[in-house]
Amino acid sequence: MSSLTFRTVGALDAALVDCRACPRLVDWREAVAREKRAAYRDEEYWGRPVPGIGPADARLLVVGLAPAAHGGNRTGRMFTGDRSGDVLFAALHAVGLTNQPTAVHRDDGLELYGVRITAPVHCAPPENKPTPAERDTCAAWLRAELALLAPRAVVVLGAFGWQALLPVLAGAGWTVPRPRPRFGHGAHVELAGPGPLHLFGSYHVSQQNTFTGRLTPAMLEDVLRAAATAAGLYAPTT
């Protein structure tokens, strides 16, 4: 799947949900949807690739890792219905980028303001660990999405997303320095290209990071606020 071209983000999302390019991921996501977690046994799982969420003219892009088995793979929406999403959407709301601090299911009324959330891998992987081959196959969707967007800033959640995104940005015309910028929480680099692009790093909102205090709500809010400022999402102060 070397290249994909779409006229609109909606057309891309509609095609993405039918993707079956990675056999291991297809088997896993569908097995999870059949077997379910006991707490959700009465729900119908999505069990398909999970598209991005947010407006097509978003100036800020948030890039995660992949849908959670019982989060996005269950609800059909990025970071929705799991504890990682609880942290992310609370922080987005705290800095004025959503209308509500929670994301429970696809029809809960959530709106994102100027921000779109996507991932380098769109299917839930076993143990939350996509293989390099799966990452590279799914990169075609990320390249197609970037071609339709005009972000001014990107927040990357975690080292996996950082490493996956840099070559995609380079392929899309942005100049990525050599050696490549290193991931770290609070990392910030400005890339020249189709338009100036501010790239920010944040630790992932995984329970491993949030439960241990490696990533606190304040830390995440600081990065999101800086990125939103760089993207021009806040009205100038007087």
| Tens digits of residue pLDDT in 120-144 | 999 999 999 999 999 999 999 999 9
Q: Tell me the C-alpha distance between 76 and 78, whole Å.
A: 7
Burial call 98-117: b when 16+ CB within 10 Å, e when fewer: beeeebbeeeeebebbbbbb
Q: Write the CA distances from 71 to 97, 177, 194, 229, integer angstroms.
A: 21, 35, 34, 29
Q: Tell me the C-alpha distance between 177 and 156, whole Å.
A: 17
Give the pLDDT band of residue 2 (cuts 50, 70, 90): low
Encode pLDDT of 143-198 as tens digits: 999 999 999 999 999 999 999 999 999 999 999 999 999 999 999 999 999 999 99
Give bridge partners of residue 202 from the DSSP assignment. 157
In sequence order, what DSSP letters do the residues of 159-208 get, joined into one string? HHHHHHHHHHHHHTT----SSPPPP-TT-EEEE-SSS-EEEEEE----HH
Tell me how many degrees the CA angle 30-34-37 measures, rounded to the nearest 5.
110
Q: Tell me the C-alpha distance between 100 and 110, whole Å.
A: 6
Mean pLDDT of the chain: 95
Q: What is the mean pLDDT of the segment spanning 77-86?
A: 97
Query: How many CA atoms does the CB half-sphere of 207 hold within 13 Å?
Result: 5
Give the pLDDT band of residue 238 (cuts 50, 70, 90): very low
Query: Is residue 237 scored above 70 in pLDDT?
Result: no
Give the pLDDT band of residue 3 (cuts 50, 70, 90): confident
* Residue in 135, 186, 125, 139 with CA at minimum distance from that of residue 160: 135
* Residue in 115, 109, 140 with CA at minimum distance from that of residue 1: 140
Query: How many CA atoms does the CB half-sphere of 141 hold within 13 Å?
Result: 28
What phi-psi label fits residue 76: left (phi over 0), alpha (psi between -120 and 50 degrees) or beta? left
Query: Is residue 117 scored above 90 in pLDDT?
Result: yes
% of the chain beyond a pLDDT of 70: 97
Task: Give the three-class secondary structure for 115.
Answer: strand
- Can you give the pTM of this predicted structure? 0.95
The two three-digit tokens of residue 215, written as one number: 């990533």
* Residue in 19, 9, 11, 4 with CA at minimum distance from that of residue 134: 19
* Per-residue confidence (pLDDT) for residue 201, from 0 to 100: 98
